[in-house]
Amino acid sequence: MKIALDVDGVLADVIKSWLHYSNTRRSIITKNEITEWNFWKKFDIKPDEFDNELSFCWKSWKKIPPTENELSNTVYELANLGMVDIVTARAHSTDAYVKNWLKTQNITYHKYVSVEEGPKKAELDYDIYIDDSPINAEKIANSRKNILLYSQPWNLAICDSRIKRIEKLMDAVKIIKEHKSSFEN
Ligand SMILES: [Mg+2]
């Protein structure tokens, strides 16, 4: 079984770093106000501006917190169930920072796969995706693949029987254990 594990918003809480950056320059935004994937529109931030600022935050990768404790153990448990690749959509200039961050967090994985755009993930050969993007989740579900959506304020509007929501990464371990045979189709 091949598992694609996302980084931003699933392992790395990069939005916290971005909020810290943005809130010193613009009016204050809280994480719970980020209720849409394209939330930046609402705050008059241009998409390129947001992307560049996220890349800038990754430059200071040492300051990016993990989304939850014990990630190293949880990813290890996932790796006992299948082959775990890191599958991330980003500017390639930030790949080295992400790899450093994963290493520092003691997160081990089979392959590191970096794509230009999130929806491209659905075209890759994986049985299960763990992702926080509502757009990727729909694309993956439309490709008849399994998607576990990591709950974040920006994906709470998603309600689709094909998309299983998880609150913690350990929920993915439990779900995959329970449904292993159906995931391997
Ligand atoms: Mg993500």
Structure tokens at 90: 């980003």
For residue 84, how far is its CA from the centre of ligand 1 (angstroms)? 16
Q: What mean pLDDT comes out for the span 69-96?
A: 97
- Cβ atoms of residues 19 and 31 within 8 Å: yes
For residue 51, how far is its CA from the centre of ligand 1 (angstroms)? 13
Q: What mean pLDDT comes out for the span 150-158?
A: 97
pLDDT, residue 184, reads: 77
For residue 159, how far is its CA from the centre of ligand 1 (angstroms)? 18
pLDDT, residue 180, reads: 85
- Cβ atoms of residues 113 and 84 within 8 Å: no
pLDDT, residue 185, reads: 61
For residue 177, how far is its CA from the centre of ligand 1 (angstroms)? 23
* Beta-ladder partners of 4: 85, 129
| Confidence class for position 41, pLDDT limits 50, 70, 90 | very high
Q: What mean pLDDT comes out for the span 134-155?
A: 97
The verdict on domain 2-13+66-183 having CATH code 3.40.50.1000 is: yes
Q: What is the pTM of this model?
A: 0.97
pLDDT digits (tens, 9 = 90+) for 5-22: 999 999 999 999 999 999
For residue 98, how far is its CA from the centre of ligand 1 (angstroms)? 13
Rg (CA), the chain: 16
For residue 28, how far is its CA from the centre of ligand 1 (angstroms)? 23
Please list the alpha-helical segments (H only) found in 38-90.
47-59, 71-79
- Could you state, in order of their start, the residue ranges of all structural domains in the chain? 2-13+66-183, 14-63
